[in-house]
Chains A and B, each alone.
Chain A
Amino acid sequence: MDPNQKVPRRTALKGMAVAVGAAALLVSSTGMVAAQGEYEGVTLRVLNQAGVGYEPALAQYAEEFSAATGATIEFDATPWESLLTKAQANVAAGGGQYDIMIGDVEFQYTLFPSLLPIQDLIAESGYSLDGLFAPALEYGEGIGGQEGVRYGLPVTSEVAPIFYRTDLIPEFPTTWEGYEQVLADLQDGGMEAPLAFAGVPAQLVKLFLARYWSTGDPLLSPEWEPLVNSENGLAAMNALIRHKAFASPGVLAWDNPEASQAFLNGDAAVLEGWGSFVLPGLNDPDVSKIGDNWAIAPYPEGGTGNFVQHNGIIFDASQNAQAAFDYLAYVTGRESALTSMQKFTVNSAREELWSDPAVTGDDPWRPGYAAVINNGKPITPGLPQWLDIFIGVMENASAAMAGTATPEEAVAQMAAKWEASIAQAVPTYPYTE
């Protein structure tokens, strides 16, 4: 920039307003006084997941944080598949490449020895954990069997609920039997494929878990032994196979966008899927053909898919831990979280905001969705080998659905794979869900 070039007055005033506003927000949301320019010369490097709904929010808050504190924030937006690999490489190289990582809470099960515990920083700063979804609060603490230890601040929470057509299903059933009856009636009434879901292997996990967890059984015993190879596991697998008959014959090739599209087109009366894929379309009259004739329901009999929680965590090798914490606190504080929900349609981890009139005015379905999220639980919380568990479910559910394995073989193979993986390193603390 030419130092002799004059800055237009409007631009200068705008910049000052952003800086003042950001500084005010920073103070109000974190309870900390981060002095103007306190982090001048500091560069925070963030490893985050590419393509998520909150990515634009991160960028905006980075701008505001920079204006308020002088810190520079750089993002390495990375596909989900490469996130843990990059984080592991960072740790193996002694840290230093990244200060912050924002992603699934499950990554903490692997990375926690290299992460900075932040419970003391939370207490000192006055950061409020009040109003978070119960699963976000519960499963974000005690990782690695360390009671009271917390590594991350929650950015977003989600669980796949059921979306259904209120004009075709006046009241959503609360039992699986009722659910099947409704779908059968719709099919008999002429709707070829009343149920839509993503049938590619990775997306079958939440569907299986919803049916299995509705039996009340945990996935593992306190001694980390698989319990899925049981009557209830078999029943859940058989239920999933039965329900496939209510979906399009090509459903095993559908991913989330295709499943959402079937619901938005009015070709399906029920969608079991992620809200982030279908909600933008439901709110867009140019995309949705079903208007306001939809609502959200929990799975029957207390079932739930796997709870997804993205946290911001700090690597303990970071030279800028305080700045990193202040940035994360700013992003996830109440004020920013509210803005994230309103402006960026982020599913905030703060449950209190889901019934805030400022949010529900535009999205009246939020409180119902919040109730579903509050019932969620992550897959094998605390187990570093959780990805192996996830893959075991996806491969065998896909095999059973495709008919390349019987349901009995599928649950047996699933349990065998889990057992082999857990045996590599059995955690010293008991398993709880």
Chain B
Amino acid sequence: MRYFRLRYDSSGERRPAAFFLLPALVIVVLTTLYPLAYSLFLSGHSWNMAIPLSQPVPNFPDNYTNLLSDKQFLSSIRTTFVFVVASITIELIIGMALALLITSSLRAIGLVRTMLLIPVMIAPVVVGVLWRTMYHSDYGPINHLLTTLGLPGREWLGDPANALLSVIIVEVWQQTPVVTLILAAGLASIPVELGEAARVDGASKARAFWSVTLPLLRRVILVVLVLRIMDLFKTFDLVFVLTQGGPGGVTDVMSNLIYRTGLRAFQIGTASAMSWVFLGIVVLVSLFFVRQVMRQGNSSS
């Protein structure tokens, strides 16, 4: 009897636990699940909120099928992917190099570590304004420096061929320190003896890094990839300030297009459909990397 009572005592604990969880659940439902559900509902409707007294009109699946042939939408997806892949690749390479630097025992490395954080501490909008000034084709300091060195200045933001690269440079400048810090933490957790042992066995520094350090950092790199890729997909403020998606739409990432469609043109149904397609893409990509992280965790344990 006592055993029976002890075994089923948890039902008595469940009620108070549920009671304490309820406020948080209500907040999650109201602030996350309900808006998501309503957005999904709207994605199956045509609704232009700029039209007085207008109401959503069911039109599923038109909002979605129209996107398949919407050149602007498809171009925006392509631009977003190029932006994400290029940014994360450069951030990883530079971030790793900087992480190796700041985990070394060089003099004044503490100062370097502190200065590295400065870009991250500046709000993206401010970064955008600063770099707009620096990129100015006629009055900006970058072109001034180039011409002083005898090199030709470039049209950074005004030339469709350069605009996306210019935005990527700013993104990398601001966010690489985040990657650096995470990788540095990973490097710090690797026992020093492993690298020393490799070198004792005759491996060069580069070989030791490639064959010993990098495999041990794999899980940390995957975490960096997951976090940064999700962040990069969400990029809006930087592009909005630097280029407004121009010139000619070459920097029009998904967030900008959805914002313009939903909150400037007030085409709520179309914007909702875009958002769900975009969410699907981001979830698929993120899931892939999260699985890799889990696999790494399982294999190491």
Residues of A within 8 A of B156 (CB): 250, 253
In the complex the two chains form, is B244's CB within 8 Å of A201's CB?
A: yes
The segment out of B33-41, B51-59, B276-284 that lies at the interface is B51-59
Known: A113-B52, A250-B136, A250-B155. A85 touches B244 (CB 8 A): no
Per-residue interface assignment for chain A, residues 228 to 270, with 1 indicating a CB less than 8 Å from any chain B CB and 0 otherwise: 0000000000000000000011111110001001100001000
8 Å CB contacts to B: which residues of A183-197?
A: 193
Count chain B CB atoms within 10 A of each CB in A88, A250, A267, A387 and give the residue with the most: A250
In the complex the two chains form, is A253's CB within 8 Å of B135's CB?
A: yes
User: How far, in whole Å, are A398 and B48 apart by their CA atoms in the complex?
Assistant: 24
- Chain B, residue nearest A251 (CB): B158
Shortest CB–CB separation between residue A251 and chain B, in angstroms? 6
Complex partner residue of B159 from A249, A399, A421, CB under 8 angstroms: A249
Shortest CB–CB separation between residue A58 and chain B, in angstroms? 25
Count chain B CB atoms within 10 A of each CB in A385, A401, A424 and give the residue with the most: A424
Interface size class of B (residues with CB under 8 A): 35 or more
Q: Is A425 an interface residue (CB 8 A)?
A: yes
In the complex the two chains form, is A199's CB within 8 Å of B158's CB?
A: yes
Q: Is B186 an interface residue (CB 8 A)?
A: no
Known: A249-B159, A250-B157. A403 touches B266 (CB 8 A): no
Q: Is B247 an interface residue (CB 8 A)?
A: yes
Known: A384-B50, A402-B246. A250 touches B260 (CB 8 A): no
Residues of B within 8 A of A112 (CB): 52
Q: Is A391 an interface residue (CB 8 A)?
A: yes
- Chain A, residue nearest B47 (CB): A424
User: How far, in whole Å, are A254 and B249 apart by their CA atoms in the complex?
Assistant: 15
Residues of B within 8 A of A118 (CB): none
8 Å CB contacts to B: which residues of A52-94?
A: 81, 84-85, 88
Shortest CB–CB separation between residue A237 and chain B, in angstroms? 13
Residues of B within 8 A of A398 (CB): 246-249
Complex partner residue of B54 from A84, A202, A425, CB under 8 angstroms: A425
Complex partner residue of A81 from B157, B249, B264, CB under 8 angstroms: B264
Q: Is A405 an interface residue (CB 8 A)?
A: yes
User: How far, in whole Å, are A199 and B246 apart by their CA atoms in the complex?
Assistant: 9
Residues of A within 8 A of B155 (CB): 249-250, 253
8 Å CB contacts to A: which residues of B9-40?
A: none
Residues of A within 8 A of B177 (CB): none
User: How far, in whole Å, are A124 and B294 apart by their CA atoms in the complex?
Assistant: 75
Per-residue interface assignment for chain B, residues 131 to 147, with 1 indicating a CB less than 8 Å from any chain A CB and 0 otherwise: 01001111100000000
Residues of B within 8 A of A254 (CB): 158
In the complex the two chains form, is A253's CB within 8 Å of B163's CB?
A: yes
Residues of A within 8 A of B139 (CB): 258, 261
Q: Is B195 an interface residue (CB 8 A)?
A: no
- Chain B, residue nearest A108 (CB): B52
Q: Is B263 an interface residue (CB 8 A)?
A: yes
Q: Is B267 an interface residue (CB 8 A)?
A: yes
Q: Is A336 an interface residue (CB 8 A)?
A: no
Q: Is B72 an interface residue (CB 8 A)?
A: yes
Shortest CB–CB separation between residue B74 and chain A, in angstroms? 13
Shortest CB–CB separation between residue B269 and chain A, in angstroms? 10
Q: Is A103 an interface residue (CB 8 A)?
A: no
- Chain A, residue nearest B133 (CB): A258
Known: A200-B244, A250-B138, A399-B248. A391 touches B265 (CB 8 A): yes
In the complex the two chains form, is B51's CB within 8 Å of A384's CB?
A: yes
Shortest CB–CB separation between residue B151 and chain A, in angstroms? 16
Q: Is B49 an interface residue (CB 8 A)?
A: yes
In the complex the two chains form, is B264's CB within 8 Å of A391's CB?
A: yes
In the complex the two chains form, is B51's CB within 8 Å of A387's CB?
A: no
8 Å CB contacts to A: which residues of B237-265?
A: 243-250, 260, 263-265
User: What are 12 of the A-B contact pairs (CB < 8 Å)?
Assistant: A113-B52, A200-B244, A200-B246, A201-B245, A248-B158, A250-B156, A251-B158, A252-B160, A402-B248, A404-B247, A404-B249, A424-B54
Question: 9 closest A-B pairs (Cβ-Cβ)?
Answer: A250-B137, A402-B248, A253-B157, A404-B248, A250-B158, A253-B158, A252-B247, A402-B247, A252-B158
Tell me the A residues contacting B by CB distance below 8 Å: 81, 84-85, 88, 109-113, 144, 193, 199-202, 248-254, 258, 261-262, 267, 384-388, 391, 395, 398-405, 421, 424-425
Known: A81-B263, A391-B264, A404-B249. 4 other contacts (CB 8 A): A252-B247, A384-B51, A404-B160, A425-B51
